[in-house]
């Protein structure tokens, strides 16, 4: 037996609130970690995380307001939630589309940076992102123009466009996650002592798989015409920010602050820098990482003098430290 619309909306609100609390906690820890970064990195990362948090917050507020409106008159709750042309539902959908596109844009940008800012690498995901933006905002427009008719459901509005949006989002994330993991793996193979890069690969793949699984759940429930899509949709909203912050935090703790045994430098400063060529990654030397230092050697001399009778015996012992 499928889940009813009201049950789906209540469950969606609960799960969204649960993940929103996780997002708030991670965001606070994220702010503390970013204090040790350079000003440019700090401003960029905090700005992106703050926008993601703000979008998730507004989305959460709208869901709470919709719940209050729906259950003030319980007999009209079903009709209220089934009115997908309502301005609050359109606003909620627009926030979801914006949040998703921003999250996809971040992973495309990360892929672009990892590949030494080569535009040809992000040609496919970048084009898919632009197309997805057009499709997503068209869906929002279709909702705003929808009229509630007897027997009409959410699944009858822009059905093909919604399926296309979810499919393109999954494609972008799978392609970029796989490309980033492959690039790090190739660098890992050529890097001497680069076992410290392995946790980064794991973090990228795990977070990418987490987000892709959530999107897959949304797509499957939508295609199956199940009300389970509502909890799946609301889960994705805070999950975009959670995934972004998790990658930043895990990368910091595995590479930014971990130290190599027997060395006081951070891992990020020890792993060689690489320049990508068609023949593979080549390490570039950086004398700043290994500065020449003066060496001071202290030598001490201990002398023992013994006097016996009329003669004197002198023993000299030298020791170097």
The answer as to whether 119 is a domain residue is yes
* Res 218: pLDDT: 87
Residue 122 sits in a domain whose CATH number is: 1.20.1070
Question: Is residue 175 helix, strand or coil?
Answer: helix
The answer as to whether 274 is a domain residue is no
Instruction: Evaluate whether 32 touches 257 at the Cβ level (below 8 Å).
Output: no
Tens digits of per-residue pLDDT, 94-113?
999 999 999 899 889 888 88
The answer as to whether 40 is a domain residue is yes
Per the structure, the complete domain to which residue 77 belongs is given by: 5-256
Question: Is the sign of the CA dihedral 208, 214, 217, 219 positive or negative?
Answer: negative
Tens digits of per-residue pLDDT, 230-246?
898 899 889 999 988 88
CB atoms within 10 A of CB 209: 14
How far, rounded to the nearest angstrom, does the alpha carbon of residue 119 sit from its chain's CA centroid?
A: 21
The answer as to whether 151 is a domain residue is yes
Q: Give the percent of the chain with pLDDT over 70.
A: 70
The answer as to whether 131 is a domain residue is yes
The answer as to whether 242 is a domain residue is yes
**DSSP labels, 207-243:** HHHHHHHHHHHHHHHHHTT-TTHHHHHHHHHHHHHHH
Phi, psi values for residue 260, rounded to 5°: -80, 135
Question: Residue 46 pLDDT more than 60?
Answer: yes
Q: What is the mean pLDDT of the chain?
A: 76
Instruction: Evaluate whether 56 touches 238 at the Cβ level (below 8 Å).
Output: yes
**Cα–Cα distance between 133 and 169 in angstroms, integer?**
10
Question: Residue 320 pLDDT more than 50?
Answer: no
The answer as to whether 181 is a domain residue is yes
Q: Which residue has the tokens 């009300």?
A: 227
Better-predicted residue by pLDDT, 308 or 67:
67
For the chain, the domain total comes to 1
Q: Exposure pattern of 171-203 as b/e (b: 16+ CB <10 Å)?
A: bbbbbbbebbbebbeebbeebeebebbebbbeb
The answer as to whether 287 is a domain residue is no
For residue 43 the two structure tokens come to 């401003």
Question: Please, which pLDDT band fits residue 148 given cuts at 50, 70 and 90?
Answer: low
């Amino acid at each position: 037996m499928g889940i009813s619309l009201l049950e789906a909306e209540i469950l969606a609100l609960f799960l969204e609130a649960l993940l929103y609390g996780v997002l708030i906690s991670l965001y606070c820890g994220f702010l503390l970690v970013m204090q040790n970064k350079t000003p440019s990195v700090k401003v960029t990362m905090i700005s992106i995380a703050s926008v993601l948090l703000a979008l998730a917050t507004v989305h959460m507020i709208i869901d709470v307001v919709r719940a209050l409106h729906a259950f003030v008159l319980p007999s009209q709750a079903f009709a209220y939630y089934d009115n997908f042309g309502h301005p609050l539902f359109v606003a909620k959908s627009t926030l979801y589309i914006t949040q998703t596109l921003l999250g996809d844009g971040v992973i495309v940008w990360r892929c672009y940076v990892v590949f030494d800012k080569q535009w040809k690498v992000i040609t496919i995901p970048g084009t898919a992102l632009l197309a997805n933006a057009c499709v997503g905002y068209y869906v929002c427009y279709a909702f705003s123009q929808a009229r509630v008719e007897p027997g009409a459901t959410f699944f009858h509005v822009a059905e093909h466009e919604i399926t296309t949006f979810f499919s393109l989002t999954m494609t972008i994330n799978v392609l970029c996650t796989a490309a980033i993991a492959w690039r790090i793996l190739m660098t890992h193979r050529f890097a001497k002592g680069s076992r410290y890069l392995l946790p980064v690969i794991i973090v990228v793949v795990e977070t990418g798989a987490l987000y892709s699984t959530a999107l897959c759940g949304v797509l499957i429930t939508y295609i199956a015409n199940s009300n389970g899509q509502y909890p799946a949709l609301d889960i994705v909203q805070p999950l975009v920010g959670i995934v972004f912050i998790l990658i930043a935090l895990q990368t910091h703790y595995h590479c930014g602050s971990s130290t190599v045994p027997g060395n006081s430098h951070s891992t990020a400063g020890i792993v060689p820098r690489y320049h990508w060529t068609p023949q593979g990654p080549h390490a570039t030397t950086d004398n700043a990482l290994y500065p020449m230092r003066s060496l001071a050697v202290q030598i001490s001399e201990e002398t023992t003098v013994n006097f016996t009778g009329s003669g004197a015996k002198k023993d000299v012992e030298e020791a170097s430290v």
